[in-house]
Structure 1
Amino acid sequence: MHKHAMPQEGSDTFNDQVRIVLVETSHSGNIGAVARAMKNMGLGNLWLVNPSSFPDEASYARSAGASDVLDRARVVSSLDEALADCILVMGTSARGRKVPWPVMAPPQAAAMASEHSAKGRVALVFGRENHGLSNDELQRCHYHIHIPSNPDYSSLNLAMAVQVICYELRMQYLRGLEEGESSAYLEAMVAPGDNGWDVPPATVNDVEGFFGHLEQVLVDVNFHRRDNPRQLMSRLRRLFQRARMDEMEINILRGVLSAVQKAAGTQQSGKKHKPTAEPSADEGRE
């Protein structure tokens, strides 16, 4: 069905930790072209969310020898499934959203993705060929990536967009080889996942559970109306996503939410949040 693949260059950090996520790709040939772009730059972790057609002959034909990337590709039914175990999510987007989101160009995005790949899984998300990612999907991202193309002709083919980002990742990888290992004593510790941080970063699944719990509590105390939401949850999402929470912080916040529900008499039987690690008395306060 397809040509034998050339060996994949070894790079555990990038191959295993950085995943390229394509959402509802319409043309299977574009999936093959993306696989080729990835392998050109030493990447091999491809996730597909509800592709219209895959696998098929067109995808393997367009991969031009990167069939091993397609062979290992994961097909999932939802974006949440593709992101659940990631600690950093970055989605490609045009500028000009109603609620501005943290946005950066490909070189800065690649540097951040490379840094975080040493701490946990990183997802780089690309949308549909005709209209990209939805607002809801973009709100799943910590940061947006904007490729500063010609404003008079800004539309990029899906594989071209992936190639731009993968090239910047490749440059980060090569620079890392040249620099060698840095002293642990000189490394900054500013966020979960950094060397010396006491608790692992919260996963996307943990954070989504918190956002669902938070919204329910705001409804319970009559602060938020689902039938007239305005921008409340979007702005709260932006606030908490900027904080880059760890697992203990999520547990403490959900414990607070459960206490609010109990005090308000709105906590349903069997719905009480059970943290994965119970904080001690000292950990829950300054």
Structure 2
Amino acid sequence: MTDSPDLPATGLLANQTLAAFRVVLCNTSHPGNIGSTARAMKTMGLTQLYLVNPKEFPSDVARSLASSADDVLDSAIVVSSLEEALVGTTLQVAMTARRRELVQPLHTPRQLVPELLAEATAGGNIALVFGNETNGMTIDEVRLCNRLVTIPTNPVYSSLNLAQAVQVLCYELRAALLDDVSHLEEKRTLPSHEYMELFYEHLERTLITIGFLRTQKPKRLMPRVRRIVQRAQLDQEEVDMLRGVLRAAVEFERVEPPAKAPKEPPQSE
């Protein structure tokens, strides 16, 4: 899924704001998670991916799971330490699911997103940092960050795939900026007044032809039919389709069913 060429200005503005965010993956062990992360990022409009000591990258597996987010993989920056990945950032957000004896308060994505977007709008750069799939972020890695975030999952089973966690945080960012999918709606062409009048005339003639509308009492039926059509709010294509149905109804060859032969009375013996 990519942005449509006719994406409205609000969508372009959202993507410009999201350009201030970078996703940082630390010590990723499976290349498929890197590809899935790239896909999760691109669907939400984020493009900056930093990889700290990935076990395997570049990778055909990563490219396969990126599902056409190859541009995010191609521009990914590989570094040897988290300090390098955080250079130039003003907010560093550590994703963690464990209780830690740390000074920073723990936020959910929805609680933290307003502050992150305000910083991005003010010209700051924000790093969203994710740890290794098995052990998460180390204490030393978390200490390099000045914000902590956790996803409120089921306490009985809180295991999230790495790319799923990235998707949740990226979604919260985009939804806070642009909770609108109107650009996906079908663009409908509404018929003109005179076009609809031609349709009503065509409909009335057809109803008379097939014997449904009696010319002696036409007053009540057609106004009711108009109300039905007006409630439906037909577009031009739908009106054309219905006129095709009307033409077919008139041209249909109606054959009277053969009359049933009268039953013969039973013969007496």
**Bucket of the pairwise TM-score, normalised by the shorter protein:** 0.5 to 0.7
Structure 2 gaps of 5+ residues are 181-269
Identical aligned pairs, as a percentage? 46
Q: Give 1:134 deviation, angstroms.
A: 0.5
Q: Give, in whole Å, the separation in 1 of the partners of 2:100 and 2:3.
A: 42
SS in 1 for 2:90: strand
Q: Give 1:61 deviation, angstroms.
A: 0.1
RMSD: 2.1
**Whose Rg is larger?**
2
Which residue of the partner structure matches residue 47 of structure 1? 50
Which residue of the partner structure matches residue 110 of structure 1? 113
Give runs of aligned pairs for residues 18-97 of structure 1, distance below 5 A: 18-97=21-100
Match of 2:152 among 148, 151, 158: 148
Matched residue type, 1:168: E
Q: Give, in whole Å, the separation in 1 of the partners of 2:86 and 2:168.
A: 22
Matched residue type, 2:119: H
The answer to whether the 8 Å contact 2:96/2:148 transfers is yes
- CA offsets, 1:181-218, max 9 Å, x none? xxxxxxxxxxxxxxxxxxxxxxxxxxxxxxxxxxxxxx
Matched residue type, 1:173: L
Q: Give 1:99 deviation, angstroms.
A: 3.1
SS in 2 for 1:90: strand
Matched residue type, 1:107: R
The answer to whether the 8 Å contact 1:29/1:62 transfers is yes
Q: Give 1:13 deviation, angstroms.
A: 2.3
Match of 1:170 among 146, 165, 174: 174
Q: Give, in whole Å, the separation in 2 of the partners of 1:155 and 1:101.
A: 23
Q: Give, in whole Å, the separation in 2 of the partners of 1:62 and 1:175.
A: 27
The answer to whether the 8 Å contact 2:24/2:52 transfers is yes
Q: Give 1:109 deviation, angstroms.
A: 2.0
SS in 2 for 1:20: strand
The answer to whether the 8 Å contact 1:49/1:76 transfers is yes
The answer to whether the 8 Å contact 1:102/1:142 transfers is no
Q: Give, in whole Å, the separation in 2 of the partners of 1:154 and 1:6.
A: 30
SS in 1 for 2:148: strand
Q: Give 1:161 deviation, angstroms.
A: 0.3
SS in 2 for 1:123: strand
Give runs of aligned pairs for residues 1-286 of structure 1, distance below 5 A: 10=12, 11-15=15-19, 17-118=20-121, 119-174=123-178
The answer to whether the 8 Å contact 1:43/1:166 transfers is yes
Q: Give 1:133 deviation, angstroms.
A: 0.4
- CA offsets, 1:140-181, max 9 Å, x none? 1111001111111111000000000000011122169xxxxx
Q: Give 1:32 deviation, angstroms.
A: 0.3
Q: Give, in whole Å, the separation in 2 of the partners of 1:120 and 1:97.
A: 27
Q: Give 1:103 deviation, angstroms.
A: 1.3
Q: Give 1:38 deviation, angstroms.
A: 0.6
Report the TM-score when normalising by structure 1: 0.57
- CA offsets, 1:2-34, max 9 Å, x none? xxx95698522212x100000010000100000
Matched residue type, 2:171: Y
The answer to whether the 8 Å contact 1:36/1:64 transfers is yes
SS in 2 for 1:75: strand
The answer to whether the 8 Å contact 1:18/1:113 transfers is no
The answer to whether the 8 Å contact 2:2/2:43 transfers is no
Q: Give, in whole Å, the separation in 1 of the partners of 2:66 and 2:139.
A: 30
- CA offsets, 1:223-275, max 9 Å, x none? xxxxxxxxxxxxxxxxxxxxxxxxxxxxxxxxxxxxxxxxxxxxxxxxxxxxx
Matched residue type, 1:124: L
SS in 1 for 2:17: helix
SS in 2 for 1:169: helix
SS in 2 for 1:89: strand
